[in-house]
Amino acid sequence: MKNKFIIILFSLLLLLCLDLMIINAEVFQDYEIKDINEIEQIHDVLEGDEWKSPYQKREDARLAQQQDEMRRLTGYATTGKLPTNVNRCTGIKCPSGYTCNHDGVCMKKCGRVWCIVSTDCEKDLFGIQFCRPPRGKKP
């Protein structure tokens, strides 16, 4: 009696496993790409010029922005000729001791650094020069 029960249980379990295998095989057949031409078409679309990965798009945008900024900084985009300090500093009157730099900002040499107009050149305890906002004023 016990053996018959085990055989029947084993048979039912085997049938259940076979049914699951058949169902899984049918599901996989539905999702299978049946034609090699479909794979080639997908490959052509992905490799074509019309599709770019998000990383490539981000890199292209970064390079375009960098090139645009270089053109803007040199002034070449508007004038067609490279600017000089005179062109950038036209109309800027720097206080005495200050010079106009390549960005059109008045700067004063302070040891190894350059201070802008609103800062003072001072030395720390070790004699190293640095720029500090004027005393009594908060930045």
> 13 falls in which pLDDT band (50, 70, 90)?
confident
Predicted model pTM: 0.34
Instruction: Please report the pLDDT score of residue 35 as a whole number.
Output: 62
> Is residue 138 a part of any domain in this protein?
no
Instruction: Please report the pLDDT score of residue 77 as a whole number.
Output: 46
Instruction: Please report the pLDDT score of residue 24 as a whole number.
Output: 63
What is the CA angle 33-36-38, rounded to 5? 65
Instruction: Please report the pLDDT score of residue 52 as a whole number.
Output: 72
> Is residue 96 a part of any domain in this protein?
yes
Range of the domain at 71: 2-79
Query: What domain count does the chain have?
Result: 2
Q: Answer for the pair 49, 56: CB distance below 8 angstroms, yes or no.
A: no
> Do 6 and 74 belong to one domain?
yes
Instruction: Please report the pLDDT score of residue 27 as a whole number.
Output: 57
Q: What is the SS3 string spanning the chain? A: CHHHHHHHHHHHHHHHHHHHHHHHHHHHHHHCCCCHHHHHHHHHHHHCCCCCCHHHHHHHHHHHHHHHHHHHHHCHHHHCCCCCHHHHCCCCCCCCCCEECCCCCEEEEECCEEEECCCEEEECCCCCEEEECCCCCCC
> Do 31 and 71 belong to one domain?
yes
Give the domain-ending residue among 40, 62, 79.
Answer: 79
Q: Answer for the pair 75, 61: CB distance below 8 angstroms, yes or no.
A: no
Q: Answer for the pair 130, 110: CB distance below 8 angstroms, yes or no.
A: yes
Q: Answer for the pair 115, 105: CB distance below 8 angstroms, yes or no.
A: no
Instruction: Please report the pLDDT score of residue 12 as a whole number.
Output: 79
Ordered strands of the 99-100 beta sheet? 99-100, 106-110, 113-116
> Do 70 and 56 belong to one domain?
yes
Instruction: Please report the pLDDT score of residue 93 as a whole number.
Output: 81
Q: Parallel, antiparallel, or unpaired: how do β-strands 120-123 and 106-110 relate?
A: unpaired
pLDDT digits (tens, 9 = 90+) for 18-60: 777 776 666 555 555 556 667 777 777 777 666 677 778 888 8
pLDDT digits (tens, 9 = 90+) for 77-132: 455 555 455 556 777 788 888 888 877 788 888 888 888 888 888 998 888 888 88
